[in-house]
Structure 1
Amino acid sequence: MTDASGRSLPYYPKLDGLRAVAACLVLVEHFTYNEMVRGFAPGLIGVKSFFVLSGFLITSILLKERGTAPAGVLATRFYLRRALRLAPAYYAAILLTALLALAAMRQEWPWHAFYLSNVQIALQERWTGAGHFWTLATEEQFYLFWFPLVALAPRRWLLPVIAGCVILAPIYRAIMAIEGTTFAIVLLPGNIDSLAAGALLAVSMSGRAAGLAFMERVAGSRALLWGSLVAVVMTTGSFGDVVGWTGGSGVLRWVFLPVLVNVTALCAVRSAIAADGRFDILAHPALVHVGRISYGLYVWHYFVPQFCYTYIPGFQALDVGAWAILRTVIWLGLTVLIAEVSWRVIERPFLALKRRTPRAGRPVPARVEAAVPR
């Protein structure tokens, strides 16, 4: 892994393993038409885990990038490298689904093309044919204000903003849940605490906030990891159904469950980068590879069932009884195949272009460094 300036950052294979686990949880949510399974909120857990990991990595990159070049160069380098990683497969999916007349893409493409999928869902209060794009829209919106905050703004602003995000997002979700407008939770304010949680770990590990040194130790606690994981399971709707308690399930799902997932994911990220042999299974080559193609898995998987029902005659027959197992296997196989092709043909060639972006080969001149707010 490299930072936005082209300098090497440590590569942790187990983080790719974590990506694989998160991606698989999302696939379980969308490919398993079983209310009991979905009641354990695998999709929410997977998405929030992605957000925590993203917040950690992006903030780590920006902290290393800070002060290495003038603001314009930093911004160009950061956003260009993000575009090279995310845009090719994303816009290829928009184009292909529009050509195939899937997901109402011919009518709704502007929402997705301008990364406003979450805004569309919130305004129209419905899941769209490309509803999973809401997370990618949230990420892009996060990048817009996180770069100037971490790379350019006075350093004293960072921790208060992170703390505000961690505190205010659950309050926002609670208000939306109480008012019955849970679709608005897909907006950035409803997810910023997950991204900020990852950022908090990045700051604590950067050595730039002495008061946060304890955070790294706490996040590395096995007791906290397993305790929060148990709490996540106990907070899901299906667990409530099993034990015969359903009171307050809406508040639990939308307010407390994401917070518990944030804690679990934070501990998982810290454990994955620890050199103590924990969770070495995450470094298994198969999991690492799935993590490497996880972006493609996420981008393309939502359209696979739509394609099958639209273009494979009689596919609906697989919805009945044990045939549903075959249906899920077909969806999974096609998704992996498409993601693999996407990685090799679309994503990896564009990633290679990152090497051509400007690099900060040596420290920025003192006059530039002095201009960066502290």
Structure 2
Amino acid sequence: MKKNNDFPSNGNLRYFIHLDTVRCYAVFMVVFAHIFQIWTWKDATESLFPLGQTGVVLFFVLSGFLITYILLKEPQHKPIAQSFKQFYIRRSLRIFPIYYLFLAICYIANISNVNDYGFMLWFYLGNFYIFNHNSWIGEYSHLWTLAVEEQFYLLWPFLVLFLRTRTKALLILFVSVIALASLARFYLLSDGFSYTQAKVFPLANVDFFALGALIALGNIYCQQTVRSSGYPLVVTGLVLYYGSYYVFEKMIFYMIGQLSIGLVATGVIIIALFSQAKEGILHNRMTVHIGKISYGIYLYHNAIVAHYAEIAGYFGIDAGNSYYIKIVISVLFTLIIAELSFWCIEKPCLRFKDLFRSA
């Protein structure tokens, strides 16, 4: 494969601003899906398209792209051990501060009996707690996705850095990982595990990260091919999803559906990656900024929605007002908390990342 020289391996990585807009839409997909689930006991969008799952998969594919892109752009003369150290320190500065502050507050106050989950959430093992008990864990259920990401980060950098000069080996690895996830889902469901367990099991999610990794590899070595595949992938994914919905029984539909959502997410990220669109209704300063604070939005939103009555009462707001007003107030409060978190905690911590920038 011919390497794309538009992206020099000098540690100066391009910033993909349109991906912040993708984060904005992805986090709102998850937020609204959870609002529907908490207040109506069902994701009202599920019969049309799984809004929450699509948002999660967008984040997974995006993470797979970014981590792989960053690792592949590491200077080849740089010691691998140094690359590992810098990657994990910078990653920790990004995600640990508000995650552990959030947990500390919840555990100290024992909000919603969080102490019942022991150390599992502290060590990013919430998905295994859900898997072992075959049950969601209330307002902390969404933390399973962060657990899966952290488990993915334990191994992926080693594989990519050791194979970074062997393009064909990387391609085989990424495709094999996609196949592995499908096999994991098939094994779990055919062996009597529930759909909840299949959803949170790490190996049943690695294909989404691998799809993002394929984008990164293609972006470096065959950019034009990747650029032209965005819309076809979205259309293919939608056709597969709705086509299999009416043709196959539940287990087969679930497996095809997961892959379909992955294809849609991959296509959307490719479209955003190469977008030349200026500011408009769908992409503007607001969507970019919300994308920047999306981690805080994701982390805090479930607790805010679950405790809406107490929060509203504290501020003298009628907790029994209309469903739509509750949605607006919950979203606004989530945005305010995430904004404060970003400026007071996340951004100061992110300044330390520059000390560990690739060089």
Would you say same fold, with TM above 0.5? yes
* Structure 1 position 114, deviation (Å): 0.6
Distance 1:147 1:306, change over 3 A: same
Q: Who is 1:96 aligned against?
A: 105
* Structure 1 position 213, deviation (Å): 6.2
Distance of 2:279 and 2:213 partners within structure 1: 22
Distance of 2:75 and 2:126 partners within structure 1: 31
Distance of 2:267 and 2:35 partners within structure 1: 28
Distance 1:75 1:332, change over 3 A: same
Q: Who is 1:61 aligned against?
A: 70
Q: Which sits farther off after the overlay, 152-161 or 190-199?
A: 152-161
Distance of 1:162 and 1:223 partners within structure 2: 20
**C-alpha distance after superposition, 1:171-216 (max 9, x if no partner):** 2213323324223321210100000000011111112xxxx66751
* Structure 1 position 257, deviation (Å): 1.6
TM-score normalised according to structure 1 size: 0.82
Q: Which sits farther off after the overlay, 87-96 or 190-199?
A: 87-96
Q: How many residues align?
A: 341
Q: How does 1:1-374 map to 2 (within 5 A)?
A: 7-32=11-36, 33-34=39-40, 35=42, 36-39=44-47, 40-65=49-74, 67-129=76-138, 130-153=140-163, 155=166, 156-178=168-190, 179-185=192-198, 186-207=200-221, 215-220=225-230, 222-229=231-238, 231-232=240-241, 234=242, 248-252=249-253, 254-277=254-277, 281-309=281-309, 323-357=322-356, 359-360=358-359
Percent identity over paired residues: 31
The one-letter amino acid of 2:287's match is L
Distance 1:235 1:127, change over 3 A: farther
Q: Does the 8 A contact of 2:61 with 2:208 survive in 1?
A: yes
Distance 1:17 1:106, change over 3 A: same
**SS at structure 2 position matched to 1:333:** helix
* Structure 1 position 217, deviation (Å): 4.5
Q: Does the 8 A contact of 1:318 with 1:324 survive in 2?
A: no
Distance of 1:342 and 1:38 partners within structure 2: 31
Distance of 1:235 and 1:108 partners within structure 2: 40
TM-score normalised according to structure 2 size: 0.85
Distance 1:110 1:196, change over 3 A: same
The one-letter amino acid of 1:195's match is F
Q: Which runs of 5+ in 1 are unaligned?
A: 361-374
Q: Who is 2:3 aligned against?
A: none
Distance 1:216 1:265, change over 3 A: same
Q: Does the 8 A contact of 1:162 with 1:200 survive in 2?
A: yes
Distance of 2:133 and 2:29 partners within structure 1: 26
**SS at structure 2 position matched to 1:110:** coil
Distance 1:327 1:289, change over 3 A: same
Distance 1:228 1:246, change over 3 A: closer
* Structure 1 position 268, deviation (Å): 1.3
Q: Which sits farther off after the overlay, 142-151 or 270-279?
A: 270-279
* Structure 1 position 81, deviation (Å): 0.3
* Structure 1 position 357, deviation (Å): 2.0
**C-alpha distance after superposition, 1:276-331 (max 9, x if no partner):** 4499654311111111111111111111123334565599x957xx7222222222
Q: Which runs of 5+ in 2 are unaligned?
A: 1-6
Distance 1:312 1:28, change over 3 A: closer
Distance 1:218 1:168, change over 3 A: farther
* Structure 1 position 218, deviation (Å): 4.7
Distance of 2:330 and 2:341 partners within structure 1: 16
Distance of 2:163 and 2:236 partners within structure 1: 36
**RMSD over aligned Cα atoms:** 2.9
Q: Does the 8 A contact of 1:6 with 1:355 survive in 2?
A: no
